[in-house]
Amino acid sequence: MNPQATETGVRQLGHFVGGRWIDSKSQSFQDVTNPATGVLLARVPLGGADDVAAAVLAAREAYPAWRATPPAMRVRPMFKLKQLLEEHFDDLARTVTREHGKTVDEARGSVRRGVDNVERACGIPSLLMGEALEDVGQNVDCEAVRQPLGVYAAICPFNFPAMVPLWFLPYAIACGNTFILKPSEQVPLSAALLIDLVQQAGFPAGVVNLVNGGRAAVDAILDHPDIKGVSFVGSSPVAQHVYRRGAEHGKRVQALGGAKNFVVVMPDANMDHAAEAVAESAYGNAGERCLAGSVVLAVGAAAEPLRDRLIAQSRNYRVGDGMDPKTEMGPLISKPHRDRVVGYIGKGVEAGAELVVDGRPVVAQMPQGNFLGATFFDHVETQMQIAQEEIFGPVLCMIRVPDLDAAIAIMRAHPLANATSIFTTNGKHARQFRYNVDASMIGVNIGVAAPMAFFPFGGAKGSFFGDTKAHGMDAIGFYTDKKVVISRWV
C-alpha cells in the first residue's frame, strides 16, 4: 500500500517507481482536503524532474521484457485488474467522492466508465491484429503489424480522478508499452488506490509507475527524451502548451482541452425530457466536466416552456456532501475555483443577462465546504463572457435564437467544439444538426454525449490538440506504430 501516516497522523503520499512506493526527492508538499468538509485527507509531494527521471528509468528498463511478452500473456494481469476493480468498486468510488466532492452515484458512474476501458483492453490480442495481402506484386507479399514504442505518460485532471487514468493506462500497457501516470495534485488518492490494485494484479515492476506533482513534473514529462508519447486532459490553454512542448521534443501527443458545449432545444422537443437532461448536463458533477452543457440555445417557441422547467430544475437541486445519498450536487474542487465561478456570475449580471436562479447564497449557507448552488441565466447574448468562456461550474446560460440555422451559426463561430446535443422529434432537424456542427461528440435527445470505451473520445477545434483521440480504436493507433513489411522470396 502507498505510505504511511506522518507524525500528525495525516497520510503522506509518495511516488510509485519500479514496483514500489518511494519517497519523493522533492521537499515540497501540498495538502489534499475534502472539498465538502475541509478535512485534511493527505499530503502529496510536488515532484520534479528528478522524480520523473527515476520513473522513466524504471519504465525504460522494464520495457524490453514487457514488449517481448506475447499479447495473450500481457492481458492476464489485465483480467486480474478488472476483477480487482470490481471487488474494490465502491472503495474507489468513495475515494473519488472524498477527494473530489461529486456524489457517490456520479463517482460510481465514472468508475464504471473507467473499468469499461480495462475490460476492452483485455481484448488486445484481437485489437492488435494487423493486415496482410499476398501478391501485391509478382511474388511479393505485404503485411502490416502494430508494435509498441516504449515509455508513455498521461497527465490527468482533477475532475475524474479514477476514470481518466483508465482511459490511457490499460491500452498503453496492453499494447506492450510501459507507463507513467501523473495524476492531478488536487486528487491523488484515487490514483494511489488504482496503482495498489495494479500492483496486486501482478504486472511486472516498472511497467506502471506514478509520479505526483504539479507543473514542474508536467514539463519534465514533456521534455524527457525517453518518453515517446503523452496523453493529457485539462483546460485548452494547458492542452495547447502540452501539445506544443511535447511535439517540439518529438513526442506523440493527444491533448484533450476545454469546452463550451451548446445544447439546442427545438420547439417540437419533449420539453420535460429536454429540461431534465439539460439541467443534469449543466449541474451534474457540479459542472466540472468537459461534456457539461453550459449554454442552451432555445429555438423560437421553445424558450418559454423550457425556461419554466429549467427554473424548477435549478431551484430544486439539492446541494451537499457527496457522501449523503440525498445530495444531487456536491461542492466544487477548491475555494479558489468556487470564487472564480462566483466571479463569472457577477460578470453575467454586469453584462445585463437575467439572473433567474442565483446559486451564490449557498456559499454563505454552507461555509464549511466549497459549495455553490445551481445558477441559471436567461436572455444571455453571445458576446457575453459567460456565453464565451469555459466556467467549469454549475452555471447554465440560455440564449434565445429564431431557428436552427442561427443556433448552428453560433456554435460554428465559437473557438471550442467538444460536445453538443439537440433535442427534437424531427429527424430532418437532427440530421441537419449532426451534419453541420463542428463538435466531435454529438447527442440527439442525449444530455451528455459521452462515447463508450469502444468509440473515440475527444473534441475538435480548440478543444483538442493532436491527431488521435482517447480510447476506441484511436487508442490502439496512438500506442503503437504500424510497421509495413514487403517481402519477396526468390
What are the catalytic residues?
Answer: 290
| Interstrand relation of 293-299 and 11-12 (parallel, antiparallel or unpaired) | unpaired
Sign of the four-CA dihedral 195, 92, 288, 298:
positive
450-451-452-455 Cα dihedral, nearest 10 degrees:
-170
Cell for 482? 504500424
Beta-strand ranges (E) seen in 224-367 are 227-233, 252-256, 261-265, 293-299, 354-357
Give burial (CB, 10 Å; 0-12/13-18/19+) of 431.
exposed
Q: Which residues pair with 357 in a beta bridge?
A: 376
Q: Are 407 and 264 in contact (CB under 8 A)?
A: yes
Q: What is the DSSP string of 426-457?
A: -HHHHHHHHHH---SEEEES-SS----TTS-B
Q: How far, in Å, CA of 224 to CA of 102, rounded?
A: 35
Residues 76 and 114: their CA atoms lie apart, in Å, by 18
Measured distance CA(247)–CA(321) in Å, rounded: 41
175 grid coordinates:
499494447
Strand partners, 15: 22
* Structure-block grid coordinates of residue 109: 458512474
Output the nine-digit C-alpha cell for 212. 505526483
Look at residue 31 and give its three-state secondary structure.
Answer: strand
Query: At residue 464, what is the residue type?
Result: F
**Most distant CA pair in the chain: distance in Å?**
83
Alpha-carbon span 32 to 328, nearest angstrom: 23
With cell 466532492, the residue in question is 101
Residue type, 474: D
